[in-house]
Amino acid sequence: MSRIATTLSQDGRHLTIHLERELAFRDYRRMRAIRESLPPAVAGLSVDFSQTRYLDSGGLGIVLSLLRYAQIRGWPLRLIRCQGRVAEALRLLETEGRFAGERHEAGMQFTATAGHRR
């Protein structure tokens, strides 16, 4: 199972979720618990994939669930420090117009596109 940790910004308005090893279907409950326990002041989310080496279809489903959650609230969602196979899998969401990808030194960053909803 993946190790999942969170970091709240100093002002309490942005939460970063840090994933180690993988994001898979079995992580759904843990990610839902994080989402449901967000402090009321949070107004943006990032998912840090720098330590993530594997993303299965269930993991993509979790990302899409976070996207829907953020869009309903009008929050930005960024997928940061994506590398290797994880970046390749997330590019599928870019081609669907759900995220815009941008290359950085630390890896790919994907930002949710404004207004895209399904």
Instruction: For 20-39, write each residue's pLDDT tens digit.
Output: 999 999 999 999 999 999 99
pTM: 0.87
Specify the DSSP element, H or E, that contains 8: strand 3-8
Q: Which segments of the chain have a pLDDT < 70?
A: 1-2, 95, 113-118
Q: Which residues pair with 77 in a beta bridge?
A: 45
Task: Give percent above pLDDT 70 in the chain.
Answer: 92
- Which CATH number is associated with domain 3-112? 3.30.750.24
Extract the tokens encoding 112. 């949710």
Extract the tokens encoding 109. 């960053």
